[in-house]
Amino acid sequence: MIFKRSDIPGEDIKRAMSMADKRRQLIEETPATPLVYDYGVNRLARSLHPGIVKAKISNKEQCGSDSCRITLSAVQGKFPYFRAGQFITLSSKVNDSFISRPYSIASSPKEALEGKIAIIVQKKGIFADYLINEAAIGTELSVGEPSGDFYHDDLRDQNHILAIAGGSGITPFISMMKAIKEGSEDFRLTLVYGIRKKEMMLIDPDEYKDERIRIITVLSDEEREGYRHGFINTEILKEFLDDKTNVFMCGPDAMYNFVSKQLDELGFDKTRIRKERNSVGDRKVEESKTYKLTVHIRDEVYELEAKNEETIITAMERAGIPALVRCRNGSCGFCHSRVIKGDYFISRENDFRRSADKKFNYIHPCSTYPESDLEIEIPIFNV
Amino acid sequence: MNRYDVVVIGAGNGGLAAACTVLNAGKSCLVCERHNIPGGFATSFVRGRFEFEASLHEFNGIGTPEQPGSTRELFEQLGVADKIEWIQLKDAYHLISEKEGYDYVMPFGYEAFAKANNQLDLNGEKYIREFFVICQQIRDAMAYISESKGHPDPQVMMEKYPDYLACGSYSVNEAFEALGYPKAIVDNLNTYWCYLGADGNSMSFLHYANMIYSYFSKGAAIPKHRSHELSLAFEQTIHEKGGEIWYNSEVTKILTDENKHVCGVQLSDGRIIETRHVIANCSPHLVYGKMMDPTAVPEKALKLTNYRKFAGRGFTVFLGLNRSPEELGLKDHNYFIYDTSNSVDQYASMARFGNTAAQATVVLNNADPDCSPEGTTIMYMTTLFTSDVWSDVEEKDYFNKKNEVARAMIERFEKATGVDIKDHIEELAIATPETYARYCGHPQGVIYGYESQYYDGLMNRIQMVEEDHFVPGLRIGGGYGERLLGYPSSYKSGNNEAKRTLRDMEKEGD
């Protein structure tokens, strides 16, 4: 025997034998008062992550010549504080479909605490048409909680952001500029705003006067005094780039391709560029095909048709299945689903699945196209 | 289907193991999980071109196929072992402790570790060999107690396991004091204390010795595809055996009948599932305090649960760096960076907001060079808060507060190692107690269940497990269970509670 603590023979073992009795006694002495399980941290978690909030359209106003600014007010639950640059996902039944779309938030985090979130909707697509032309003031929508990593982070990013916006891609930067002016963010933002014509502008730069904010508007389709003309090229970019700058981009993919090339030419570090990802849309196929899609939600089973040029989420939306989706670009993992049987395709640039998801055959339906009849299990719309 | 033999609440490690156990016995089983993926903390997440491990630093008890550890054996029984690819870790840790001036690397392996202690003390190896003899006896004794289903023969215990009994009542600090090893050896052996999160005055020596012996003798491993691989391996097995898992499906109530026996559960959308047996893989605080009708909760359950002490609240900084470990000068996989090797002092400092007293940091690429794209590094730094300080943080201050703590941790690592991290951050995520509360619903954002306490440690919990069971038809397992926190413990606890449930069913004729 090696272990000995007490000098009294047998005492150590006797002590071990009495441990249970001592514990019994201590438990017996503890009061049987109601258990406290909800603490400040748990309440904070619910405030920051309320899940889906029911909200109504409280205001609509024309914004530029081809967009509409829509304000949402929470009716059940409350909007959380968020990071300027994040997006929300709106969901609603539209005719026989159940549609969800992500929109960058155009209002400030402070306004969310006052119960309001604004988005800017461009007149393009079925859901935009519904929001702008059909949904009246007072219409209720489901609003997913603010998400995404398109925000300034003082640990990750430099203090100067060169923000490059194309068209409605200015929206997250509007939120950032408001946050800077209100004092909840503190970084320098140089906004290079590319748009076709002045009448399409979604902001009045005079509203964002602040020593940390600078706005340069580049009109591609018209020449005007006080505005730059053409595309966002190396000439313009190099004026604002240095090694204390991160580049944030939000706009169409064509702009990303063009500006990325320009930045490459300037030798700018790719790892210092952050792009807001666009939704995954239809793909080009050689031959259009329609497959049978079987969807399990808990113990319910739905059978529907899915076209090979459309994402699985699009097929489910058209069939009116309440399918959970958030980012629509494959990155957030909210629609994580199990493939039971069948083939599918995911483009490399929109495959953000975990490596074990690939191994065990899980997909994100928002970025996945069917390549055969397909059977999947999706999570219930219940958060 | 609206009726199952068993409903498991929570698809965390304990819940997944419990479901497989129940299904193996041919019973029907539904797992209800509030989140949209399995695993609880055993998961991963993607940011940009990085996939971060959410919680696992290293897994002990796996061993090798030739020399399997106890968890590998359990995984074989449960049918998941073949689905998981393991990477064995080379070294145990790189310890940097400021106060004592320690800065050294310790290897895995009985022989290598014993010899490495000679650099700390001339007789280091001798002490470690003696310590390991005690540890081996503790393991053997625990195996014997387990085989005897909690009713060991006292005569056998006295004859074969006297050291187990002799050290059984003491804390880590009391036991090391009695063994009389030099400070440098004791400090080294104390290094893993933060994996159990209780200070040396509270933590049971049996428990701690058993854990570190497993680390040093069997080594540790990580799953190739992060811990999400473990969780999906379990999920696949559950489906293969005919079980079901429902996501975004929080159980809000455990229903009981007129005999106060479990008769079903209710989900957050109001749906009721009938069952006579529930295995809850969540906090007893939630089970007895929130999910059950107060009249069905015995006074003793309230007393025991109030008696418990919440263990550490988690905080982790996840970093995707735009340089390789070689470029940065990061050589090791596992760093422990401490202000002091005195766990009591460390524990006390960790009650304060913004402290950087202790961190366990992993450089994942040094175990798995393919875990991120070439020229990049994944690292994560974890600490615990030993008090509920995050409950005072307000919503609008939250983002700044978490960055403040993360920055301090990164700077602490930089200072200890001389490596520049801050200039190379490409992706960053921070998990705070709020994050853990959000995903897993734990009170205060606790990640370690109920803390190992002097009278509420491993030995007492195992010995009194039937006394701690109160509601017919309800078993509680996982990180809050009798084997305390940690990956192997949670799986084992889920497995044990499922076996007890099967025995309950047999007795009750279900």
3-state secondary structure of A5: coil
8 Å CB contact of A44 and B303: no
The second-level CATH assignment, the architecture, of A50-143 is Beta Barrel (2.40)
8 Å CB contact of A334 and B299: no
Residues 6+ apart with CB under 8 A from B458: B204, B206, B207, B210, B452, B482, B483, B484
8 Å CB contact of B46 and A35: no
pLDDT at B354: 83
Instruction: Give the Cα separation of B451 and B208 in Å (integer).
Output: 13
How much is the average pLDDT of B79-94? 97
pLDDT per residue as tens digits for the range B107-138: 999 999 999 999 999 999 999 999 999 999 99
pLDDT per residue as tens digits for the range B415-439: 999 999 999 999 999 999 999 999 9
Instruction: Return the residue in B33, B37, B43, B46 with the most chain A beta carbons within 10 A, the one to mutate for interface testing.
Output: B46
pLDDT per residue as tens digits for the range B400-414: 999 999 999 999 999
Strand arrangement, sheet containing B251-256:
B251-256, B262-267, B272-274
Instruction: Return the residue in B231, B306, B322, B425 with the most chain A beta carbons within 10 A, the one to mutate for interface testing.
Output: B306
pLDDT category at B1 given cuts 50, 70, 90 is: low
How much is the average pLDDT of B485-491? 96
Whether the predicted model's global pTM rises above the 0.95 cut:
yes
How many CB atoms within 10 Å of residue B165?
Answer: 22
Q: Does A45 touch chain B (CB under 8 A)?
A: yes
- Distance from the A356 Cα atom to the nearest Cα atom in chain B, whole angstroms: 5
Instruction: Report the chain A residue with the minimal C-alpha distance to residue B303.
Output: A32
- Selecting from A12, A184, A355 the residue whose C-beta is nearest the C-beta of B225 gives A355
How much is the average pLDDT of B297-323? 97
B412 alpha-carbon distance from chain centroid = 25
pLDDT category at A54 given cuts 50, 70, 90 is: very high
Q: Return the CATH number of A160-275, one of 3.20.130.10, 3.40.50.150, 3.40.50.720, 3.40.50.80.
A: 3.40.50.80
- Selecting from B166, B247, B248 the residue whose C-beta is nearest the C-beta of A3 gives B166
ipTM: 0.97
- Selecting from B167, B304, B406 the residue whose C-beta is nearest the C-beta of A3 gives B167
Structure tokens at B179: 């063994």
Structure tokens at B41: 């903390």
Does pLDDT of B308 surpass 90?
yes
Q: What is the number of alpha carbons within 13 Å of residue A328 lying toward its C-beta?
A: 22
Does pLDDT of A72 surpass 90?
yes
pLDDT at B148: 85
Residues B95 and B110 sit within 8 Å (Cβ to Cβ): no
pLDDT per residue as tens digits for the range B363-388: 999 999 999 999 999 999 999 999 99
pLDDT at B292: 98
8 Å CB contact of A3 and B179: yes
Instruction: Give the Cα separation of B498 and B480 in Å (integer).
Output: 15
Domain ranges of chain A: 50-143, 160-275, 290-377
Instruction: Give the Cα separation of B62 and B292 in Å (integer).
Output: 37
How much is the average pLDDT of B272-283? 98
8 Å CB contact of A1 and B166: yes
Does pLDDT of A170 surpass 90?
yes
pLDDT at A76: 83
8 Å CB contact of A2 and B133: yes
Domains of chain B plus CATH, in order, are: 6-36+247-308+453-508 (3.50.50.60), 110-218 (no CATH), 312-443 (no CATH)
pLDDT per residue as tens digits for the range A178-227: 999 999 999 999 999 999 999 999 999 999 999 999 999 999 999 999 89
pLDDT at A183: 95
pLDDT per residue as tens digits for the range B146-194: 888 778 899 999 999 999 999 999 999 999 999 999 999 999 999 999 9
8 Å CB contact of A155 and B407: yes
8 Å CB contact of B438 and A355: no
8 Å CB contact of B165 and A38: no
Least Cα distance to B51 among B224, B235, B178 occurs for B224
Q: Does A83 touch chain B (CB under 8 A)?
A: yes
Phi-psi region of A353 (alpha: psi -120 to 50; beta: other; left: phi over 0): beta
- Distance from the B334 Cα atom to the nearest Cα atom in chain A, whole angstroms: 22
- Distance from the B103 Cα atom to the nearest Cα atom in chain A, whole angstroms: 28
What proportion of chain A, given as a percentage, has pLDDT over 90?
97
Residues A246 and A224 sit within 8 Å (Cβ to Cβ): no
Q: Are strands B220-223 and B86-88 parallel, antiparallel or unpaired?
A: antiparallel
Instruction: Give the Cα separation of B292 and A273 in Å (integer).
Output: 51
3-state secondary structure of B417: helix
Does pLDDT of A382 surpass 80?
no
Instruction: Give the Cα separation of B29 and B278 in Å (integer).
Output: 10
Q: In CATH terms, are A50-143 and A290-377 the same topology? A: no
Amino acid at A211: E
Measured between beta carbons, which residues in chain A are less than 8 angstroms from residue B48?
Answer: 149
Q: Does A334 touch chain B (CB under 8 A)?
A: yes
- Selecting from A30, A42, A271 the residue whose C-beta is nearest the C-beta of B307 gives A30
Instruction: Report the chain B residue with the minimal C-alpha distance to residue A272.
Output: B426
Instruction: Report the chain B residue with the minimal C-alpha distance to residue A13.
Output: B166
8 Å CB contact of B443 and A42: yes
8 Å CB contact of A271 and B322: yes
pLDDT at B150: 72
Does pLDDT of A383 surpass 70?
no
Instruction: Return the residue in B163, B202, B268, B395 with the most chain A beta carbons within 10 A, the one to mutate for interface testing.
Output: B395
Q: How far is CA A287 from CA A308, A347, A371, B366, B445, in A?
A: 9, 18, 11, 47, 52
Strand arrangement, sheet containing B59-60:
B59-60, B220-223, B86-88
The second-level CATH assignment, the architecture, of A290-377 is Roll (3.10)
- Selecting from B179, B228, B422 the residue whose C-beta is nearest the C-beta of A354 gives B228
pLDDT mean across residues, chain A = 96
Least Cα distance to A364 among A321, A322, A317, A331 occurs for A331
Instruction: Report the chain A residue with the minimal C-alpha distance to residue B158.
Output: A13
Measured between beta carbons, which residues in chain A are less than 8 angstroms from residue B37?
Answer: 333, 336
What proportion of chain B, given as a percentage, has pLDDT over 70?
100
Measured between beta carbons, which residues in chain B are less than 8 angstroms from residue A51?
Answer: none
Largest pairwise CA distance in chain B: 68
pLDDT category at B145 given cuts 50, 70, 90 is: confident
